[in-house]
Chain A
Amino acid sequence: MEDDVKKFLYVNRKAPYGTIYALESLEVVLIGAAFDQDVSLAFLDDGVFQLTKSQDTKEIGVKNFSPTFRALGDYEVTKLYVEKESLDERGLTLDDLQEITWEDEDDDYEEKPSIRIVTRAEMADVMADQDVILSF
C-alpha cells in the first residue's frame, strides 16, 4: 500500500427508492471523493436499478438523485462495476442504464464509459482486490 492510498469499494445492493440506503451511499461516495483514494462502485441485486434511465419520482414525493451518478466523473469516480447476472435476472440490459462517462485527461480528455459490466465471478475478484468495502 503506497502513500495511504487505499482501494475503497462501495457496494450498492438496494433499489434507489423505498429505502434510504442508495441515497446515503451516494452521499458517502461524494464526500469520500475528496480523500484521493482509489474508488470503485459496485451495483448488484436490486442495486442495478439505481443506474436506470428516465427515473421519475414525482408521484412518490422524493428527490430523484439519479442525475448525480452522471456527475461522478467530475469527482474522479470512474469505475462503476455492474453485475451482469443481476441485470439479466431483472430483465435489464446496458441500454436500460444511464450513459455515464468520464474525461480521461491522459488521453486528450476523451470521454470514456464509467459503467463496466462484469460477471458475478468477476465481481468477486473486484471485491477481493479491495482494502475497504462499504456495503449499502
Chain B
Amino acid sequence: MKFGIVVSEGPYTHQASDSAYHFVKAALEAGHKVPRVFFYHDGVNVATSLSVPPQDERNIQQQWSAIAKDHGVDLVVCIAAAQRRGMLDENEAKRQGKDAHNIAEGFRISGLGQLIEMGIETDRLMTFGD
C-alpha cells in the first residue's frame, strides 16, 4: 500500500508529528511505501534546524531527517504556511531579504500542489493533526 501523510500540528506541543513518525516507520518496516510526507499548518515547524530539545528527549526534526535519509521519503514543507511562521530555506531567505534560514536536512519547501498530487498518487492519505 502507498501512503501519503499530512502532519498538521507542530512538534512537542502536540503528539501529531510523533504519531505520524511512528506510523511512517511502522509502515515502511511492514513493506509499505511512503513516498511523501506533507507538513502543513504548525506542522511546518517540525522542519526547523534550530530546535534544541534537552538531551534526554527525542529530537523530532532529527527523527524525520533520518527517515528521509534512510528511506528516501520526500519531506515537503508548505511554502505559504512556512513563510507565515518564519520557516525559510536558503533561496527563500535570499529572495525575501532575510539574514537566516532554518530548513533542516531532508526537508524541502514547496507548494500546496504537492499535497494534492500526493492525494492523487497514493492509495491512502492520512492526516495527523488535532
Report yes or no: B112 in contact with A134, Cβ–Cβ below 8 A.
no
Q: Which residue of A lies closest to B84 (CB)?
A: A20
In the complex, A132→B5 CA distance in Å? Answer: 12
Report yes or no: A31 in contact with B41, Cβ–Cβ below 8 A.
no
Task: List residues of chain A with CB within 8 A of the CB of B116.
Answer: 8, 28, 31-32, 35, 37
Binding site secondary structure of chain A: mixed
Report yes or no: A35 in contact with B112, Cβ–Cβ below 8 A.
no
Report yes or no: B120 in contact with A24, Cβ–Cβ below 8 A.
no
In the complex, A88→B36 CA distance in Å? Answer: 40
Q: Which residue of A lies closest to B130 (CB)?
A: A21
Which positions 80-130 of chain B face chain A at CB distance < 8 Å? 80-81, 111-113, 115-117, 119-120, 125, 127, 129
Give the A-binding residues of B (Cβ under 8 A).
6, 8, 40-41, 80-81, 111-113, 115-117, 119-120, 125, 127, 129
Give the B-binding residues of A (Cβ under 8 A).
4, 6, 8, 20-21, 24, 27-28, 31-32, 34-35, 37, 131-136
13 contacts between A and B (CB under 8 A): A6-B120, A8-B119, A24-B81, A31-B113, A32-B112, A32-B116, A35-B113, A35-B120, A37-B120, A133-B125, A134-B125, A135-B129, A136-B8
6 nearest CB pairs, A to B: A31-B112, A132-B119, A32-B116, A35-B116, A132-B125, A28-B112
